[in-house]
Amino acid sequence: MDGSAHRHVNPWIVTISVMMATFMELLDTTVVNVSIPHIAGNLAATVEEGTWVVTSYLVANAIILPMSGWLARYLGRKKLLLICVGGFTVTSLLCGFATTLPSLIFFRVLQGLTGGGLQPLAQAILLETFPRQKHGQAMAAFGIGILFAPIIGPTLGGWITDNYSWRWIFYLNLPVGVFSIAMISRFVSDPSYIKRGAGRVDLWGIGLLALGLGTLQVVLDTGQRKDWFSSDYIRFFSVLCVVGLVSLVIRELIVKDPIVDLRALTNRTFSAGVFLVTQVGFVLYASLVLLPLYLQTLLGYPAYNAGLALSPRGIGSLVTMPLTGYLTSKIDPRKIIVVGLILGAITMFDLSHLNLNAGYWDIFWPQVLQGVALAFLFIPLMALSMSSIPKEKMGNATSIFNLMRNIGGSFGIAIMTTFLARRSQFHQSRLVANITPGSLKTQEMIAGMQAWFHSHGTDAVSAQRKALAAVYGMVQAHASMLSFVEAFWVMGVIFLAMLPFVLLLRRPPRTSLREASPSTDAVGGPELRSEMQEEETQHEAELVMH
C-alpha cells in the first residue's frame, strides 16, 4: 500500500490496528508478575529464580526500545511493526510451551526484543496519522494502553492463574496478535520521508546500548533483594552500567548515523517533557507496586482482590481521557499538566493518611482521583513534548520518550521498595525500644494476650510464646504502616516538585490549538502542513527574538 492510500484511511481504524498490539504487550508485561510463584513451582524453581522471567523480559525490552526509531528508518516502519507483532505473538506461544525455566527465560528474552518497539512505533504512527491539532485525541487513545493495561494486568493475571494455568497468560496473546497483524497489513503504511536502509549500522552503538541499559535494568530489578552496593554482584553490574552508558552518550554524539539520536534533547520542550515523564513514571509504577503490597501485607487482601482494588484508577483514567484529549487541542496543555500534578499530589497525600483499619472506600476515591490526574498528565505531556519535533524524527523522539518513562518506573519501583524496607526497619527499632519488660503497659498487653491464648486451650508456656509473637507482629505491622505513610507522602512531594519544570515547556504553535480545515485528511493535507510549517517557523523566530 502506498503513502497516498493511507491518507484516506479513517484514523481511528489505524488507531485500533496499532493499539491492540501495544495494549497486548503492556498487559503481558504486568500479568506475568503475579504469576511468578505459580510459574516457579510448576517448573521446579525457586521464587527468586522465577523472577528472572520478568527481569529477562525487561532487560531485552529496555535494549530494543530506544533502537526502534533507527530500526524503523532502516527496515521501514510498517515492516518493523509487523515483525514486532508477529515475533511477540510467536514467542508468546513458545513461552506457553516452555517446560523448563531456562527455556522460558530464553523465550522471554526473544519476547522482550520483539515487544520493545511496539510502544514508540504506535505513538509515532498515531502522531502522524492525526493532524497536529488533534494530537491530544491521538495521545488519549495511546494513553488508554499505557495507563489502563498496567492497572488491570495484576487482576487479570491473578484470575487467569487461579482459575486456569499460567500458560494461558501467553496463549491469550495469539488471537490478538493475529488480528492485529491483519489490521496493520491492511491499514498502516510508511510515510514518504522514511528512507529504508539509510546510513551505516552503528554496531558499537548497539553494543554499548545493550551493555548500559541491560545492566541498568539488572541492577534496578535485583538491587533490593541483594542489598544494593553491599553485594559484589550489584557493584560489578553498576560499573558495567556506568561504563556502558557514558560510552554510549559519547559515541552517539559523535557518530554520523547514531542508533539513538540524543541531539533531540537539545529541543527544550522535548527535553523538559522527557524529564517530567520520567518523574511521572517514577510515581506511577512505584504506586502500582506499593499499594498492592499495603493491601496484601497489612490488610490481608488476597492477590486477586488487591489487583481488583487498583481498578478505580483505570475508571478515573478512562472517564477523563476523552475530555483531556479534547481540552489538549483547545487550551494551553501546560495548564492541564499543572492541574494533573496538583491532583496527583493530593492523591498521594490522601493515601498517606491510610491506617491499619482502612476500608475499601478509603482506597477507592484516591484511586479514582489518581486516574484522573494521570490522564491530565500523560496526554497533554505527550502531545506537547512532540509538538515541535519534525515528523521525520518522530520515531526517534518517541523511542527516547517511552524509554525514559519506563526507566523512571524502574527507578521508582527500586527506590521506593528500598525506602519502604529501610524506613520499616527504622520505625521497628524505635517501637521496640519503647516496649520494655519494666513497662506497665507492656506487661498488661502481654498478660492479656497470654490469658486469651490460654483460655483457647493453649498451655501456659505456649501461650506466653504466642503472646510475645503477637506483640512483635503488632510492632512490625505498625512499623510497616508508618513506612507506607512516609512513602506516599514522599511521592506527593515529588508531584509538587515537578511544577516549576512545567515552565520549561514552550507553548505549542497556534495551529496546534485550531480546528482542522475542511481540506485536512487523515494525516493532514498539504495545505495544512505548509501552513503549520510557516507558523512554527514564525513561532520559533519570536522565541529567538525574546
307 and 274 part of one domain:
yes
240 and 344 part of one domain:
no
- What are residue 146's phi and psi, to 5 degrees? -75, -20
E strands present in 258-413: none
pLDDT band for 37, please (50, 70, 90 cuts). Answer: confident
Q: Looking at residue 156, what is its pLDDT?
A: 76
Sequence length of the chain is: 546
Instruction: Confirm if 313 and 151 have CB atoms less than 8 A apart.
Output: yes
2 and 15 part of one domain:
yes
* Alpha carbon distance 150, 19 (integer Å): 14
163 and 122 part of one domain:
yes
Domain of 240 in residue numbering reads as 203-220+228-256
338 and 213 part of one domain:
no
CATH number of the domain bearing residue 503? 1.20.1250.20
Boundary of a domain, candidates 479, 498, 533:
479
Reply yes or no on whether the pLDDT at 546 is more than 80.
no
Reply yes or no on whether the pLDDT at 535 is more than 80.
no
Q: Looking at residue 86, what is its pLDDT?
A: 92
pLDDT band for 276, please (50, 70, 90 cuts). Answer: very high
Give the residue ranges of DSSP H helices in 98-148. 101-115, 118-129, 135-143
Task: Report helix angle 394-433 to 68-75, nearest 10.
Answer: 160
Q: Looking at residue 447, what is its pLDDT?
A: 65
What percent of the chain is predicted at pLDDT more than 70?
80
Average pLDDT of span 279-297:
84
142 and 39 part of one domain:
yes
Average pLDDT of span 168-189:
87
Q: Looking at residue 467, what is its pLDDT?
A: 64
Average pLDDT of span 2-11:
55
350 and 377 part of one domain:
yes
* Alpha carbon distance 124, 138 (integer Å): 10
What is the overall mean pLDDT for the chain?
79
140 and 246 part of one domain:
no
pLDDT band for 526, please (50, 70, 90 cuts). Answer: very low
Reply yes or no on whether the pLDDT at 200 is more than 80.
no
307 and 339 part of one domain:
yes
What pLDDT digit, counting tens, does each position of 341-382 carry? 999 999 999 999 888 888 888 888 888 898 899 889 888 888
* Alpha carbon distance 384, 270 (integer Å): 8
Average pLDDT of span 195-218:
79
C-alpha cell of residue 350:
490522601
* Alpha carbon distance 217, 409 (integer Å): 11
Average pLDDT of span 247-267:
86
With cell 496519522, the residue in question is 129
112 and 179 part of one domain:
yes
Reply yes or no on whether the pLDDT at 219 is more than 60.
yes
Reply yes or no on whether the pLDDT at 18 is more than 50.
yes
318 and 248 part of one domain:
no
* Alpha carbon distance 349, 351 (integer Å): 5
Q: Among positive and negative, which fits the CA dihedral 527, 532, 535, 537?
A: negative
524 and 507 part of one domain:
no
What pLDDT digit, counting tens, does each position of 394-420 carry? 778 888 888 888 888 888 888 888 898
pLDDT band for 520, please (50, 70, 90 cuts). Answer: very low
State the total domains in the chain. 5
